[in-house]
Amino acid sequence: MVPYTHKLPALDIVQSKIYTLETLRKPLIVWRFFGKRIVFTNGCFDIIHRGHIDYLAKASDLGGSLVVGINSDASVKRQGKSAARPLQDEQTRAMILASLHFVSGVIIFDEDTPKDLIEFVSPDVLVKGADYDANEKDPSSKKYIVGSDYVKANGGEVKTIEFLEGFSTTAIEKKIKEMQ
């Protein structure tokens, strides 16, 4: 018997996990058909660090398919982070996230919030860090989770995950500046 030797190049697998709205439709249908709970989270994910890995792995554990929305470069700039942010362009950030085995898909969004994207994905579980409050109902509150009302109204869950203490992109950026 001849062993099966054909496999997709690793880079092709990674790139195939980066979606647009149009290309994400089919995987969402397939994942739902096979009964996978779809989990959604979002963020900038500028410099991937241990805290991000911990957070994303825990988010992935809440369902069968983890979709990560990342802010476009322009969207990051509008958030008012430091002038140098994002440190890595959106395609690089998407590729790094897509290379994680527990991330099923990555999609870049250009809006200031992922509200429209959340409604498009219609996740079973919406996840944010514990600096947000899954029960906050006031959209003007900094603790409000955008899209939570939509997810709950459609029978989904909204969860928060504690951050791993001592890990943040801001802290890494500060440390690098201090070294100069």
Please check the confidence at residue 1 and state whether its pLDDT lies above 60: no
Report field, pTM of the whole predicted structure over 0.75: yes
CB 52 within 8 A of CB 135: no
Closest CA to 118 of 143, 145, 147: 147
- Residue 116, token pair as written in the block: 């429209």
Q: Is 76 helix (H, G, I), strand (E, B) or coil?
A: helix
For 131-178, write each residue's pLDDT tens digit: 999 999 999 999 999 999 999 999 999 999 998 888 887 788 788 888
* Mean pLDDT value across the chain: 93
Structural element, H or E, at residue 153: helix 148-153
Distance CA 90, CA 43 (A): 11
Domain 10-179 in this protein, CATH class: alpha beta
Distance CA 169, CA 123 (A): 27
* pLDDT category of residue 7 using cuts at 50, 70 and 90: confident
Hey, where are the domains in the chain?
10-179
For 93-146, write each residue's pLDDT tens digit: 999 999 999 999 999 999 999 999 999 999 999 999 999 999 999 999 999 999
Cα→Cα distances 132→13, 32, 142, 171, Å = 33, 27, 7, 20
